[in-house]
Chains A and B, each alone.
Chain A
Amino acid sequence: GAVVSQHPSRVICKSGTSVKIECRSLDFQATTMFWYRQFPKQSLMLMATSNEGSKATYEQGVEKDKFLINHASLTLSTLTVTSAHPEDSSFYICSARMRSAPNNEQFFGPGTRLTVL
C-alpha cells in the first residue's frame, strides 16, 4: 500500500514552455499532497501544500503564478511550471499524506527530473 506515482518521470523542454507534472496516490485517498524541489546535493525544499478542493499554500519565495498547483480530487494533484527557464531545472517530487495516517506519514512519488534547455 501507500503507492504514489508521478508522471512524467523525466522531461526536457525548451525555455519558455510550460510543463505539467501529475502526482497520483494509487491505493489511498490523499487529502493533502506536497510538492518539493531538490537541486543536486541539496535538501528537499518544500514548495507548496496542496489540499483537495482548495487553493494551495505556497512557501515563502515560491511564485504561485509560476508554479500552478491544482488538486482536483483525493488522488490527483498537478504542478504546472509555466514559462520554464533553465534555472527551473530540478528534481520535482510530490508526496501524499493518507487521510487516515495516524502519525502524519508522507509517501513520496518517484520524482520528475525537469531539464529546461
Chain B
Amino acid sequence: RKEVEQDPGPFNVPEGATVAFNCTYSNSASQSFFWYRQDCRKEPKLLMSVYSSGNEDGRFTAQLNRASQYISLLIRDSKLSDSATYLCGGGRTALIFGKGTTLSVSS
C-alpha cells in the first residue's frame, strides 16, 4: 500500500462549484500534513497546513482526521484559476506526497 493515496481525478467542475478532495495516509507516526498546489511543469506551492481542528483560508478548508487517517480539502466557489493538481503531503520530517488530484474548472 502506498504511503499517501489520492484519487487522481480529473475532477471537471463548472465555475462556482464546490469540490472536495480526500487523501489517505498509512503512516500513523506522521505529524505534519499539508496541501500543495502544482501547476503544469512547475514546482509545488504551499496551499495550506492541515490540522485536526480544521484550517480555513478564504474559499479553502482543510481538515485532518487522525482516527481515520485521512485529509480533506474543500474548495468553494471554484474559479478558473483553481485549475491545477493538488498534492497532499504528510510525514514526520520529510513529506511524502500522493500522486495528486487534477482539478479542471471550466466556464
Q: Which A residues fall within an 8 A CB radius of B? A: 32, 34, 36, 42-44, 46, 49, 91, 93, 95, 103-111, 113
Q: Which 9 A-B pairs have the closest CB atoms?
A: A104-B32, A108-B43, A43-B99, A44-B97, A111-B43, A49-B94, A110-B43, A103-B49, A108-B44
Interface assignment of B96: CB less than 8 Å from any CB of chain A:
yes
Sample of 15 more A-B contacts, CB < 8 Å, known A95-B95, A106-B34: A32-B93, A34-B94, A43-B97, A43-B100, A44-B97, A49-B93, A93-B43, A93-B44, A104-B31, A104-B32, A104-B91, A106-B95, A108-B36, A110-B43, A111-B43
Check if B45 sits within 8 Å of A104, measured CB to CB.
Answer: no
Say whether chain A's binding surface is mostly helix, strand, loop, or mixed.
Answer: strand
CA distance A107 to B49 in the complex (A): 12
Contact indicator A105/B100 (Cβ below 8 Å): no
Shortest C-beta distance, B41 to chain A (Å), equals 8
B94 in contact with A46 (CB, 8 Å): yes
* Smallest CB separation, B85 vs chain A (Å): 9
Chain A proximity mask over B80-99: 1 for CB below 8 Å, otherwise 0? 00000001010101111111
Within 8 A of A (CB), among B29-56: 31-32, 34, 36, 41-46, 49
Q: Do A34 and B95 touch across chains, with their CB atoms under 8 A apart? A: yes
